[in-house]
């Protein structure tokens, strides 16, 4: 697929992912994403979807919501995750959103929205989506745009018919995967009574996934008819506890985490949470002591070394951070987020050439992460590649919805790069996408 097609669809997400009130970014953590992927995998396979093709991404937002905008990603708010009590509840959410993907609900919505030509620019964005067909896409951290509330509801909201078919399919998937279907009802119980509130007071999930008494009765009947219940596996319980333990340690006050360390289900999760809490206090000495104990306990865990690298880097120990990230990248050589951290540490240590190589490898695996693009632009600038620095800066601004800045830097890159070069063609693609977006706004 041509680069323009892939890049334009990434820009599309900057238009259609609506983050109410104020825009929020994604929480990009390799450990959390791996854990969620492990939990989602059996449900996705039961749905006939490839776990390698559908990623679970976390939006940094305390509101309760989960949704899809394409066939390759399921977005879950951090507030929703922290509300859950066990792995089966998370798997129930994945099963329901997977059913929307498998039943083609997003594809049909894209087609219907091509007829919407509002001041939000959805006409342009969805025309791009129509041209791309089934291209891969993923939301990027730091997205700064939403769409107008009316267009948002049109795009995000599921009809009752869609919900009914997704409910039935989700329960089938859960049963095939050996997940207790009663967990689906437990998730919906969180939103019981929401339909009695005004829409402005409802959680986003209740708005986009309308819940009625009839729907709850139908789901209860399906669960009862299955006649089956399952206990979560030890592996599922571990990854759920690890993901939520790390998420809560970073999102809640350090004191809250430290008071609850004894509730950790295993020593490695306790040490991880303790290290994060002390790092955030900040108490670098205690944080490093805890993370070193964790690394000794799990010496071949790439995500432990990645966290150790993060703590060291943010404690201004760049040299030690480079060694930690290097070890993490050796244990997980294909992980873009770990490679991005490795490149960031190398930049901080002043090794600009090696940083450029690591960040180029990270970008090749994840070309829509603004942090990677920001750091890669710095590495290019430090190594005398001004044109390449400008084009990745333009791409980063376009993904953030800052199309004026994207256009400025893309035009600058076009003047610096050889005509017909790969980087020069990328600059032209950004110019085309940014000009289309700006014209639609006028």
Least confident of 23-32, 43-52, 87-96, 296-305: 23-32
CATH code for the part of the protein at 253-441: 1.25.40.10
Q: Decide: helix, strand or coil at residue 266.
A: coil
Q: Highest mean pLDDT range out of 5-14, 118-127, 198-207, 232-241?
A: 232-241
- Alpha-carbon distance 53 to 135, whole Å? 11
Could you tell me the pLDDT band of residue 389, with boundaries at 50, 70 and 90? Answer: very high
In the chain, the percentage of residues whose pLDDT exceeds 90 is: 59
Classify each residue of 335-353 as buried b or exposed e, where b means 16 or more C-beta atoms within 10 Å of its C-beta: bbbbbbbbbbbbbbbebbe
**DSSP string for residues in 20-46:** SSS---EE--HHHHHHHHHHHHHHHHH
d(CA 334, CA 326): 13
Report pLDDT for 121.
36
More confident call, 60 vs 252: 252
Instruction: Kindly tell me if the per-residue pLDDT of 125 is higher than 70.
Output: no
Express as a percent the part of the chain with pLDDT over 70: 76
Question: Coil, helix or strand for 226?
Answer: helix
What is the pairing mode between strands 55-59 and 26-27? Answer: antiparallel
The Cα–Cα gap between 35 and 269 comes to 13
Residue 107 has pLDDT above 90, yes or no: no
Whose structure tokens read 């009695």?
Answer: 196
> How confident is the model at residue 157, as a pLDDT?
54
Mean pLDDT throughout 233-241?
98
pLDDT value at 21 more than 50: no
pTM of this structure? 0.84
Q: What is the pLDDT, as a whole number, of residue 151?
A: 43
| Nearest one of 141, 56, 152 to 371, comparing CA atoms | 141
Where do the domains of the chain lie? 3-226, 253-441
Contacts of 57 (CB under 8 A, 6+ apart): 26, 33, 73, 74, 75, 76, 138, 139
pLDDT at 224 over 50: yes
The winner for highest mean pLDDT among 67-81, 219-233, 243-257 is 243-257
Query: What integer pLDDT is reported at residue 146 of this predicted model?
Result: 33
Q: In the chain, what's the furthest Cα-to-Cα distance?
A: 67
From 11, 49, 56, select the one nearest 31 (Cα to Cα): 56
Once rounded to an integer, what is the mean pLDDT over residues 163-171?
Answer: 90
- Higher pLDDT among residues 363 and 130, named by residue: 363
Q: How many helices (H) and strands (E) does the chain have?
A: 23, 4
pLDDT mean over 214-238? 91
Q: How far apart are CA 413 and CA 428, in angstroms?
A: 9
Size of the chain, expressed as the number of residues it contains = 442
Residue 202 has pLDDT above 80, yes or no: no
């Amino acid at each position: 697929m041509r680069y323009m097609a892939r890049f334009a669809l990434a820009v599309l997400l900057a238009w259609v992912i609506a983050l109410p009130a104020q825009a929020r970014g994604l929480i990009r953590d390799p450990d959390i994403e791996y854990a969620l992927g492990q939990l989602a995998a059996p449900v996705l396979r039961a749905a006939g979807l490839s776990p390698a093709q559908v990623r679970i991404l976390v939006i940094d937002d305390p509101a309760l919501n989960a949704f899809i905008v394409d066939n390759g990603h399921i977005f879950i708010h951090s507030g929703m995750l922290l509300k859950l009590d066990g792995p089966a509840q998370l798997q129930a959410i994945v099963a329901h959103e997977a059913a929307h993907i498998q039943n083609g609900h997003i594809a049909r919505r894209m087609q219907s929205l091509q007829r919407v030509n509002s001041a939000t620019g959805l006409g342009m964005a969805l025309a791009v989506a129509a041209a791309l067909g089934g291209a891969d896409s993923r939301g990027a951290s730091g997205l700064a745009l939403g769409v107008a509330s009316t267009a948002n509801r049109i795009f995000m909201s599921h009809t009752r018919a869609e919900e009914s078919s997704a409910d039935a399919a989700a329960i089938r998937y859960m049963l095939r995967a050996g997940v207790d279907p009663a967990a689906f009802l437990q998730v919906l119980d969180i939103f019981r009574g929401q339909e009695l509130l005004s829409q402005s007071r409802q959680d986003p999930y209740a708005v986009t996934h309308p819940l009625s008494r009839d729907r709850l009765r139908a789901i209860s009947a399906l669960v009862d008819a299955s006649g089956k219940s399952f206990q979560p596996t030890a592996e599922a319980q571990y990854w759920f506890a690890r993901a939520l333990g790390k998420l809560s340690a970073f999102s809640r006050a350090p004191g809250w985490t430290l008071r609850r360390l004894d509730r950790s289900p295993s020593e490695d999760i306790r040490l991880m949470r303790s290290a994060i809490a002390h790092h955030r206090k900040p108490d670098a000495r205690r944080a490093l002591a805890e993370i070193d104990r964790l690394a000794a306990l799990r010496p071949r865990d790439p995500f432990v070394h990645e966290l150790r690298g993060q703590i060291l880097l943010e404690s201004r120990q760049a040299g030690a951070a480079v060694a930690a990230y290097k070890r993490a990248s050796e244990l997980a050589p294909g992980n873009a987020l770990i490679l991005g951290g490795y490149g960031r540490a190398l930049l901080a240590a002043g090794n600009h050439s090696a940083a450029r190589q690591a960040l180029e490898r990270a970008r090749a695996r994840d070309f829509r992460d603004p942090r990677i693009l920001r750091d890669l632009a710095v590495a290019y600038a430090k190594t005398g590649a001004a044109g390449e620095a400008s084009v990745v800066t333009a791409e980063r601004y376009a993904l953030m919805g800052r199309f004026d800045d994207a256009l400025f830097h893309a035009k600058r890159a076009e003047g610096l790069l050889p005509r017909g070069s790969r980087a020069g063609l990328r600059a032209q693609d950004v110019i085309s996408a940014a000009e289309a977006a700006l014209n639609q706004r006028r």
